[in-house]
Structure 1
Amino acid sequence: MNTIKYNLVIVLLFISAIIFAQEKERAITLNGNIGLFYDTYNYSEQNYPTFRPRYLDNELRLNINATLQIGEYLSIPFGISISNQKTLYNLPELPEENLIDFIQNPRNNISINPEYKWIKGYLGTQTPSYSELTTGDTPIFGIGIELNPEKFIFSANYGLSQRAIESDLFLNIIGAYKQEILATRIGYGKIEGTKITLNFVKVKDDINSVINTPLYDTPIEGLTTSSLIELKIKEKLLFKTETAASIFTTNLNNSFSINNPTIESLNNIITINASSKGDISHVSSLDYISKKITVGGEIRYIGSGFVPVGYRNIEKDVLDYKIKSSFKLFKDKTSINGMFGIRRNNVKNTNLQSTKRVISNINVFSQVSETFSINANYSNFGFNNNEINNLIRIEMINNSFSLSPSYKFKSEKINHQINVNGSLNIFDQFDAISNSFVATKSKNLSLNYNLMFQEIPLNINFISLFFNNEMPLSTIKMSNYGTTVSYKFFDKKLSPSLGLNLSNITRDNFTTDHRFSIRFKAKYKITKKLQFNLSYRLNNYKYGSSRPNAITNEQRMQFAFLQKF
């Protein structure tokens, strides 16, 4: 992989040098924005020692997104997003970082993507997206290139998807192997249109990248290859099909080999041992798309041993059937969208039980008049394991209904808008003890009223929410009331707003919890391209008898400078 990496670097530098030499005498422009953000947070608690803070005490972020345009064809978009956080989430502590570790950390995003006509390069953070069965959601830090002259397609990406972390049980550091991903594709057509491509993706952990073996982790290696066809059969008829195969080794330290000449011949490409598994998958879809009508269907099979190494997670050993449609009626003022699908798992009988899931959804929107519109939605989800024995029978049905009318009107000096949303969710689950279905019901009603004054820059908003959730062993009721007032001063350069919110939450037979929050926000345009933002929020939570005499107070203040250029 190192040889491939160095070759990609040389190719990118060579192409960039030629392009820059051709474009250097032409006009150069720089457009984009830069943002500097600082957040501070503190809290206090009474009779709640296990309270967990929701934010960092201090957080500093820098975001830069810009494009350097050199001449007519050469553009160099680049982005920088860095933070003083150690991780994106509340994960175990990491060891101290050097500069390279800081740049490569997934919490940061640093990328340069030069583009010249049909040539595009990737430097830094990138997420290769080739197809549904190969790679699409795993970010890497590395290098890549994409070529699409005429009808020729070629892409290659190489980089680090996980940096090495030494494990330390006493410091609560789980540890991880260094992991690299190589992805490439070649084909005919247009990357964003009709095409035929062959895709190849490989992932591998470096077992020598750490001294201490990571806790709860084994080194892996895998590859996925696929053929993808996307065709526009006619102007409105689209066909897509992909067939993929994968080999995945779950433990490179497994010492048991497989004595088979054919399998042993693959060891030049991927390490194969007793922990390895291989399988195939397939996805096909056909869609008819027009301005008035859309109809389509899809079939998807994912083998039990299939692993698309460029995706974090995927449900395996499933067979899906799905149809969908949409219609526009009454001069496009009414639209109807629907979907129905069935998913079966345990296709290869790798588990003791098989399950079937049915998913359906229909949505109707209608603009009845210039002032009134309504949206209705129904969805259904069913799940069962086809078992007669009640002791191991699993069956559940979920039905959701929602209705959302909207009405707007004008008075002499004020524009009014009223939005209402009501929803009902019913979840029925079979209970083996009572030999019957047990229902969980959730009801929700919300009201939103906006007043926008015509002669002065004043907006007032009122919201209310009522929620009731009834479960077999528990009940939750909540009411929420809030208002927000915003105004603009100094020729609309200063835009402050103040929001107040009160919530009452009742659980079972406990007395009610009360939560009050206040939020102040202000935006000030220093110049046409420079803006300062300020936000302050206070949350006060007084618990009822569920947590006697407990009180929490949270304060968060956020500052930001935003510059366009």
Structure 2
Amino acid sequence: MINYNNKIILMIVCLFATPWSPAAQEKEEDNSKVKLTGSIGFFYDYYNFSQNNYNSFRPRYPEHLWRINAQMNIHLGKHFSMPLSVNATNQDVLYTLPSVPEESALDYLQNPANNISINPKYKWAQVFLGTQTPFYSKLSTGDIPIFGVGIELNPGKFLFSATTGKSQRAIEPNVALNIPGAYEQNIIATRIGIGTIEGSKFTLNAIRIKDDVTSVSTQPIGLQPIEGITFSPYAEFKVFKKIQISTETAASVFTSDVLNTGTLEEDFVNSVKDIININASSTADFAHNSRIDWKGEIFQIGGELQYIGPGFLPVGYRFIERDILDYKLNTALKILKNKLNLTGSFGIRTNNLSDTKLSTARRVITNANAFAQINDAFSLNINFSNFGFNNDTNLLNQRIELVNNSLTITPSYTIKTEKYLHLINANASYNSFEQFDVINNAFAKAENTTYSLNYNLTFLQLPLNLGLQGVYLENELPTGDFNMLNYGLIASYKLLNKKLTPSLGFNIAHIDKPGFTTDYRTDLNLRIGYKISKKLQCRVQYRYTNLTYGSSRQEAILNQNRVQFSINQRF
């Protein structure tokens, strides 16, 4: 098993095993054909707290958090490159479980959430080793990280991709430790076609996902093993340089419980029983997505149509809403020499097309944004969004109806003189959420109004920056209203030839709830950044937060301390 200290050691090995030493940089200077780009960083967070009369408080961060982040690329000559990616932590990640078992070193490295990968590339060929998230299209695969191997070939107009790996390792269930368990899950994805990876193309995509029922000795609690395949032709191309079109029609066969002993008398599903396990839990369906966009220098317009059948499942995605029909329209306009930019979108989503549910729901989504550069000093941004959802049932206890509206106005003003630069930003936002309450047979409404003002002063002849901010928030909720007033100061200065940058931030917030005395929150933020060299920097930050509660939590006091250290090397 790999314990806490071993995880730290393993992370440090990953850090120094990557070629970021001065020797690698000297090699770059000796041979101009070898080049290292990117960055690597080490991060450590420490957190503790103390409380009085607040025994139910749960820590907001782990006590010790170690992280390594490396995004690098080794270039050799004109055609060879090798991207390296390492995102590792000492925490137990990936699993959506209340508790997790101990990990071996191999389990830790294979955990896709740690994102450890090496992807060498030569001309039109690239190999993927380690964690990867292949994206082929919206209806095939695109958001499941896996640990495995892959290849991508694009010589001329020929395109081929293939990936196989583990998206979930096996976990034995343990009721005593509150571990539900999980099957080992594997994915195979491939596509073949013509075109270019980043440009116009036509591909045939095939994805298969399968749980290994033999990977655990006891069936996980509340979880059935799954198996499924998705096949889709996908086309993406440009017309007349300004029109871009993409279209995809996908079919899937999905078995939600491999252990189900029932049979299914459907020829179109049983026709693939030699490929995947077919039983009474199996479904087959199709989906379609088409999009067209016209992009001019002044005006842009686009539309999208999407249908997802009730039995369709793109097995390369964790979740997708099914049995829906979407219509979307997007527009954009730039006028007055790009000083006025207007964008907008409108969409309607309808579900229960198969009429298999008790009701049908319809949602409306609208967004409009206007940005105006009035003159060199003054600009104004206005954004409005609307989201609506309702169903057509007449039964009171099944009625769903809600509307969410949001309006934000943000003016900005800049004043520049020979010695000073003044930047003033203001923001006013209004959010309204209204939902039908089936218990009270009436609409319940929640409103949020926020006003903020920020002033930043930069001394052009001194390495000094000052900032003032103020925020007023007013919430009106069915469960209870509250208001918050927050104001603060931040200051930074550069020393030692601008290599050392200390900064100080201080905030006080007053939180008022009807019927209770005021709660107070005080934040102190100290930060020191130092440039060791042009590309090597380190930073230390300390944050202290004190919450002193009024009568809402009688005589409760909470103190939190957080120290963060980081060192980052760029190449």
What TM-score, normalized by structure 2, do the two folds share?
0.92
The match for 2:392 among 386, 397, 410 is 386
The match for 2:324 among 315, 318, 321 is 318
The runs of 5 or more residues in structure 1 that have no matched partner are 1-24
Deviations 1:431-487 (A, max 9, x none): 456655443221110111100001110001111111111123421211111111001
Amino acid aligned to 1:142: G
Distance 1:89 1:376, change over 3 A: farther
Give percent identity, aligned residues only.
Answer: 50
1:85–1:107 contact (8 Å) kept in structure 2: no
1:286–1:298 contact (8 Å) kept in structure 2: yes
The match for 1:430 among 432, 436, 443 is 436
Aligned-residue CA RMSD (Å):
1.7
Q: Shift of the alpha carbon at 1:512? A: 1.7
1:229-244 equivalences under 5 Å are: 229-244=235-250
1:394-543 equivalences under 5 Å are: 394-432=400-438, 436-543=442-549
User: Are residues 1:254 and 2:274 paired?
Assistant: no
Structure 2 match to 1:52? 58
**Counterpart-to-counterpart distance in 1, 2:63 and 2:170:** 27
Q: Shift of the alpha carbon at 1:27? A: 2.9
Structure 2 match to 1:194? 200
**Counterpart-to-counterpart distance in 2, 1:33 and 1:370:** 36
User: Are residues 1:111 and 2:117 paired?
Assistant: yes
**Counterpart-to-counterpart distance in 2, 1:402 and 1:529:** 39
The runs of 5 or more residues in structure 2 that have no matched partner are 1-30
Distance 1:262 1:225, change over 3 A: closer
Structure 1 match to 2:130? 124
Q: Shift of the alpha carbon at 1:257? A: 2.4
1:26–1:70 contact (8 Å) kept in structure 2: no
The match for 1:157 among 152, 155, 163 is 163
The match for 1:289 among 280, 292, 295 is 295
**Counterpart-to-counterpart distance in 2, 1:368 and 1:541:** 43
Q: Shift of the alpha carbon at 1:504? A: 1.3
**Counterpart-to-counterpart distance in 2, 1:160 and 1:434:** 49
2:97–2:180 contact (8 Å) kept in structure 1: no
Structure 2 match to 1:305? 311
**Counterpart-to-counterpart distance in 2, 1:270 and 1:137:** 22
What TM-score, normalized by structure 1, do the two folds share?
0.93
Amino acid aligned to 2:566: A
Distance 1:259 1:331, change over 3 A: closer
Q: Shift of the alpha carbon at 1:181? A: 0.5
User: Are residues 1:559 and 2:562 paired?
Assistant: no
Distance 1:512 1:431, change over 3 A: same
Secondary structure of 2:143's match? coil
**Counterpart-to-counterpart distance in 1, 2:440 and 2:100:** 49
**Counterpart-to-counterpart distance in 1, 2:216 and 2:101:** 13
Secondary structure of 2:47's match? strand
Deviations 1:33-85 (A, max 9, x none): 22121111111111111111011111112222221111110001111222111
1:329-368 equivalences under 5 Å are: 329-368=335-374
1:12-91 equivalences under 5 Å are: 27-87=33-93, 91=97
**Counterpart-to-counterpart distance in 2, 1:519 and 1:26:** 44
**Counterpart-to-counterpart distance in 1, 2:146 and 2:440:** 51
Structure 2 match to 1:278? 284
Q: Shift of the alpha carbon at 1:286? A: 1.2
Amino acid aligned to 1:426: S
**Counterpart-to-counterpart distance in 2, 1:89 and 1:408:** 48
Distance 1:94 1:473, change over 3 A: closer
1:145–1:155 contact (8 Å) kept in structure 2: yes
Amino acid aligned to 2:139: L
Secondary structure of 1:172's match? coil
**Counterpart-to-counterpart distance in 2, 1:26 and 1:460:** 44
Q: Shift of the alpha carbon at 1:394? A: 2.4
* Moved >6 Å (runs of 4+): none
Amino acid aligned to 2:171: I
Deviations 1:9-52 (A, max 9, x none): xxxxxxxxxxxxxxxx9933333322121111111111111111
Q: Shift of the alpha carbon at 1:170? A: 0.5
1:396–1:428 contact (8 Å) kept in structure 2: yes
Report which stretch shifted further, 261-270 or 324-333: 261-270
Report which stretch shifted further, 242-251 or 387-396: 387-396
**Counterpart-to-counterpart distance in 2, 1:533 and 1:128:** 34
Secondary structure of 2:108's match? helix
1:186–1:197 contact (8 Å) kept in structure 2: yes
Q: Shift of the alpha carbon at 1:378? A: 1.1
Secondary structure of 2:278's match? coil
Amino acid aligned to 1:271: N
Deviations 1:221-269 (A, max 9, x none): 0111111111212211111111001111111111112356664442221
Q: Shift of the alpha carbon at 1:345? A: 0.5
Secondary structure of 1:382's match? strand
Q: Shift of the alpha carbon at 1:117? A: 1.1
**Counterpart-to-counterpart distance in 1, 2:259 and 2:231:** 24
1:82-101 equivalences under 5 Å are: 82-87=88-93, 91-101=97-107
**Counterpart-to-counterpart distance in 1, 2:182 and 2:343:** 45
Structure 1 match to 2:273? 267
The match for 1:137 among 143, 146, 149 is 143
Amino acid aligned to 2:361: T
Distance 1:428 1:264, change over 3 A: closer
**Counterpart-to-counterpart distance in 1, 2:80 and 2:167:** 29
Report which stretch shifted further, 198-207 or 412-421: 412-421
Amino acid aligned to 2:138: E
**Counterpart-to-counterpart distance in 1, 2:82 and 2:407:** 48
**Counterpart-to-counterpart distance in 1, 2:267 and 2:362:** 40
Distance 1:49 1:393, change over 3 A: same
Secondary structure of 1:268's match? coil
Structure 2 match to 1:5? none
**Counterpart-to-counterpart distance in 2, 1:65 and 1:285:** 33
Structure 1 match to 2:16? none
Secondary structure of 1:257's match? coil
Distance 1:283 1:260, change over 3 A: closer
